[in-house]
Structure 1
């Protein structure tokens, strides 16, 4: 049997419904609402919206619609479509550049003619810019085509010269060949043109220092630098102290080779005491790879915020980890110890799990911990209970499901039973840790690659 329902709708009610539908139409939204919505869209989505809803065109002519413009992800693009993407972005800059106050450009391939045109368009059409960031994503294999030469240098310098309202400028991972003339060197050219004081964030990786010899004394010219990322082997007490006396607030030092004995005397306890007297909020991040680390690698008073240890030539011992905890219990926020080379299957110091738990308990600011060596489910549960971390990254392949701790006299029989029950398999472990940390926590099955973390840090 079919049930039929007929509704008797009066003409007046239908008219009212039509008027309500018309009022709720997307094209009738208040401009202030539309502008706010547009501010959350990427520049590409904005261009698509213009085509889809031409009635909103006037809403794009507002500063609020272009709060932060980010161009990037080129390494994820098909190379055949890259020119089209850059062409669209160039159009976007020319049409709406005068409403933009913040632009972030991250190129993933050669800075060709179209990339240069984008830079000159920023210089010409974005006169009210207050924040500018330009960076280079570096692939695994770098060739000469990625070197920033004269045309790129001129394009960046024109932005620094013409955008008079800039108060924050980042240059990230420029690819520089230091054997070439200063015209092809963005760092030296900025210094020669008297523009170094405009740079607030400078990030130099290995490709930024091709064939550079000696210390980076040129850094002393960057008197308004707030953040610096560079190689440890090229830095001295004098250079960092000069920068700290100006504006520098944080530094990231990357060390991937052993340094001479005489240079190891730099950045010791006395130096950090001087820096903290100048800037009490100073912070340092350290990334150490392919080298040997000992207690002397980590002096007292160093305001260490993040420490990444990867692919070391020696094993971090319980003594070193306890030394780190004691020295940096009031400042350490992120700690990573792993081996990203899959062919290495080191077991690490078997006493480290207890030291890790001790670190989590004593380092009051610790927010993230990543460990890439064998760890029992009991150790993971104790880590989670020691501190409510925002990030706890453990690879599933390293986990054993066993109760391998000596029972503490202060542990109740109920707590021991909970440790054993919660750590008996992957599912119970993940559920227990999720409940402790307050978010859905899972063991990682993805191979850990430090390069991704470094790129995130640089960018």
Structure 2
């Protein structure tokens, strides 16, 4: 089968994987490909990157080029295919002028027509580029001023959103009021997923998050929570709260345990995920007695520590279902048994009987994996890097183990093939160790 014989469904899928410039070049091949260029499926997700819709210009007084947003390209893009957008994502952009110019064009486009020009739009994801790299190092900027005004104007023009993301704005406390007011007016009954991470530099409770009647999932940083906010959220239809922290999150105190106890009584279906991401070196801020079902480490600098495991087993023993370390580590992994995480992993599995998914990236022995697979009765998924597995039998024999059982453990710990075969038998499905590339692609 040649390209001219491919069905439209496959061609639309190919188009959606191409850059915007490549799509334009493909549309010039033939009339059929030109028609596919304007297919609604091709333009479902619009992503604004560093050089999207820009043109190259010579810098004045410098022998170099700069890329500035072409308002003509932006207007043409919105006029031709803007009605097909279902989701708009704005990635972190270092050139704040280009960001401001695009938001201005998009706001004007939404205001120009009497009828709403983007009836399919249900998702808007705004990630502010707060970090700039220069000769003096990394400089962190918060938004505000004209960009904040234009963002509020843009949010006020969007209707019937179901997903909204506002990340890394790092506003001053005096600038934060009114940020979500316009969204509340147009999307109070439709918004289902809200993500607000580091909207302010310090502690600032986001009470507006509890006013969206259809909200099902909230991703929020700990400085935007308080006892009153948690109580408001418990009275809504919310079922998932992800408390996320990164290297820009300011240190705050956790919500008191009495509040979480009352929340569990008011909303028994509520589930909480604690997550550290974005290269932070700070331990997760644990919420005492919260209904935590998932704990995710998505920072390469964090390791499993005795204090963290003790907190988990003390507060989330009956609720924890997922423990994950995503990505590859950037910390030293000792080969010594007493400095590795083997004992902590086994303690976590024994003390948390409801654990369903376990993802470990640190160095661990093959014998520990055999013990985990045999003792975790409800464990359904186990993911481990092959490069992190040591073929060692450093566990001493206990009184509970017979000589035959201990000899069998030692034998199966010396071979990856026997290890995978035994864990497959315990898990009930074909199980294997993952390469680093496979481990990095894991999605939770």
Q: TM-score, normalising length from structure 2?
A: 0.68
State the Cα deviation string for residues 272-328 of structure 1 (Å, max 9, x = none). 45434544432211136767899xx56446243335497489733775454356332
Alignment match, 2:242: 252
For 1:159 and 1:422, the matched residues in 2 are separated by 59
Is 1:51 aligned with 2:40?
Answer: no
Is 1:285 aligned with 2:262?
Answer: no
Relative to structure 1, is the Cα distance of residues 93 and 433 closer, same or farther in structure 2, using a 3 angstrom cutoff?
farther
Alignment match, 1:423: 413
- Matched ranges for 1:357-368 at <5 A: 357-358=349-350, 362-364=353-355, 366-368=356-358
Is the CA contact (8 Å cut-off) linking 1:27 and 1:56 kept in structure 2?
no
Relative to structure 1, is the Cα distance of residues 440 and 315 closer, same or farther in structure 2, using a 3 angstrom cutoff?
closer
Q: TM-score, normalising length from structure 1?
A: 0.67
Gaps of 5+ in 2: 57-64, 133-137
241-250 or 396-405: bigger deviation = 396-405
Alignment match, 1:16: none
For 2:304 and 2:5, the matched residues in 1 are separated by 65
Greater per-residue strand proportion: 2
Is 1:347 aligned with 2:339?
Answer: yes
- Matched ranges for 1:295-334 at <5 A: 299-300=288-289, 302-308=291-297, 311=302, 315-316=306-307, 319-320=310-311, 322-323=313-314, 326-329=317-320, 332-334=321-323
- Matched ranges for 1:122-133 at <5 A: 123=110, 126-133=117-124
Gaps of 5+ in 1: 1-23
- Matched ranges for 1:232-243 at <5 A: 232-243=222-233
Corresponding residue to 2:143 among 137, 140, 147: 147
Relative to structure 1, is the Cα distance of residues 446 and 62 closer, same or farther in structure 2, using a 3 angstrom cutoff?
closer
Secondary structure class of the residue paired with 1:304: strand
For 2:233 and 2:409, the matched residues in 1 are separated by 50
Alignment match, 2:107: 120
For 2:97 and 2:14, the matched residues in 1 are separated by 30
Is the CA contact (8 Å cut-off) linking 1:403 and 1:419 kept in structure 2?
no
For 1:28 and 1:341, the matched residues in 2 are separated by 48
- Matched ranges for 1:177-192 at <5 A: 177-178=171-172, 182=175, 188-191=178-181
Is the CA contact (8 Å cut-off) linking 1:395 and 1:446 kept in structure 2?
no
State the Cα deviation string for residues 2-26 of structure 1 (Å, max 9, x = none). xxxxxxxxxxxxxxxxxxxxxx764
For 1:293 and 1:150, the matched residues in 2 are separated by 34
Secondary structure class of the residue paired with 1:158: helix
Alignment match, 1:105: 90
Count of residue pairs the alignment pairs up: 405
Q: CA deviation at 1:153?
A: 3.9
Bigger Rg over Cα: 1
For 2:282 and 2:76, the matched residues in 1 are separated by 48
Q: CA deviation at 1:230?
A: 3.0
State the Cα deviation string for residues 368-401 of structure 1 (Å, max 9, x = none). 42253x5321112333454665452458457452
Is 1:94 aligned with 2:68?
Answer: no
For 1:253 and 1:418, the matched residues in 2 are separated by 43
Alignment match, 1:377: 366
Q: CA deviation at 1:170?
A: 1.0
For 1:411 and 1:320, the matched residues in 2 are separated by 33
Corresponding residue to 2:263 among 250, 272, 275: 275
For 2:383 and 2:401, the matched residues in 1 are separated by 26
Q: Alignment RMSD, CA only?
A: 4.9
Alignment match, 1:157: 153
Is the CA contact (8 Å cut-off) linking 1:135 and 1:172 kept in structure 2?
yes
